[in-house]
């Protein structure tokens, strides 16, 4: 036996800090092992207290949720100051107005009233707009008389309109009175009735128009009325043309 084992110190109990810890008890079957980092909370399956990890997550989510509305409220939209309107000189207004008139007349011929309305829409001063239109009339780029004559011929030929309908269109474009009546002299009673008859004949080419005379007559009279023909003229022309087309078949 070694000498150190025979000393009295060998039989004395070791200090508490050097005493070995008792062995850990074995876990019963089904008892859950605590996750590392959960802190002191442990429990069996389906029970136990909340762990420190779960509490910290819940508190963190609540803290984020509470801060989100405040952060959104602090984001205020910065509004830009309104731009100051640019004041144009008379020369600049005149240059702008000339460009507008040339674009309008390049697209199609227009009356002075139509062009004045367009200039005012583009914020050209009235006095400058009138001066520009006077100048364009001098060089014959604006001519209401010629415009009215062309308009009457075009609307009568392409749309088959009667004089009353064309007269309304001219009035809407600022042309009325003697100038309008002079242009409308291109259409006399005979040519107006010939135009109406041609419109009805084209509509009656459909075989279905022969099935019901009353229905066909109503439809055709309504069509002529929308084009400016009087009711008596429309009924007379429609009945005459229908009899010519289908009278012998009944």
In angstroms, rounded to a whole number, what is the distance separating the alpha carbons of residues 159 and 173? 18
84 pLDDT band (50/70/90 cuts)?
A: low
42 pLDDT band (50/70/90 cuts)?
A: very low
Could you tell me what percent of the chain has a pLDDT over 70? 66
Tell me the CATH number for domain 89-142: 1.10.10
Residue 102, CA distances (Å) to 63, 64, 98, 109, 132 in order = 68, 64, 6, 10, 11
For the cut 60, the answer to whether the pLDDT of residue 94 exceeds it is yes
Q: Which two tokens stand for residue 129?
A: 């707009």
Q: What is the pLDDT of residue 46?
A: 46
Per DSSP, the three-state class of 115 is: helix
CATH for the 143-187 domain, from 3.40.1130, 1.10.10, 1.10.1760, 1.20.1260 = 1.10.10
In this structure, are residues 211 and 145 in contact, taking their beta carbons and an 8 Å threshold? no
The mean pLDDT of 193-221, rounded to a whole number, is: 90
For the cut 70, the answer to whether the pLDDT of residue 101 exceeds it is yes
Its pTM stands at 0.63
For the cut 60, the answer to whether the pLDDT of residue 189 exceeds it is yes
Dump pLDDT digits (tens) for 123-143. Answer: 999 999 999 999 999 999 999
């Amino acid at each position: 036996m070694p000498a150190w084992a025979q000393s009295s110190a060998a039989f004395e109990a070791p200090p508490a800090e050097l005493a070995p810890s008792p062995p850990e008890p074995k876990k019963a079957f089904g008892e859950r092992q605590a996750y590392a980092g959960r802190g002191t909370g442990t429990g069996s399956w389906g029970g136990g207290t909340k762990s420190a990890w779960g509490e910290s997550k819940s508190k963190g989510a609540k803290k984020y949720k509470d801060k989100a509305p405040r952060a959104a409220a602090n984001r205020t939209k910065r509004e830009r100051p309104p731009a100051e309107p640019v004041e144009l000189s008379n020369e600049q207004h005149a240059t702008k107005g000339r460009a507008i008139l040339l674009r309008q007349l390049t697209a199609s011929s227009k009356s002075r009233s139509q062009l004045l309305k367009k200039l005012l829409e583009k914020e050209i001063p009235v006095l400058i707009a009138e001066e520009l239109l006077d100048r364009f009339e001098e060089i014959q780029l604006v001519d209401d008389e010629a415009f009215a004559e062309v308009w009457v011929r075009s609307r009568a030929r392409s749309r088959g309109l009667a004089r009353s309908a064309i007269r309304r269109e001219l009035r809407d474009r600022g042309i009325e009175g003697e100038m309008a009546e002079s242009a409308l002299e291109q259409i006399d009673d005979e040519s107006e009735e010939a135009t109406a008859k041609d419109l009805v004949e084209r509509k009656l080419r459909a075989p279905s128009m022969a099935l019901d005379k009353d229905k066909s007559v109503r439809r055709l009279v309504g069509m002529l009325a929308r084009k400016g023909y009087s009711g008596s003229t429309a009924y007379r022309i429609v009945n005459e043309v229908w009899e010519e087309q289908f009278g012998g078949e009944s």
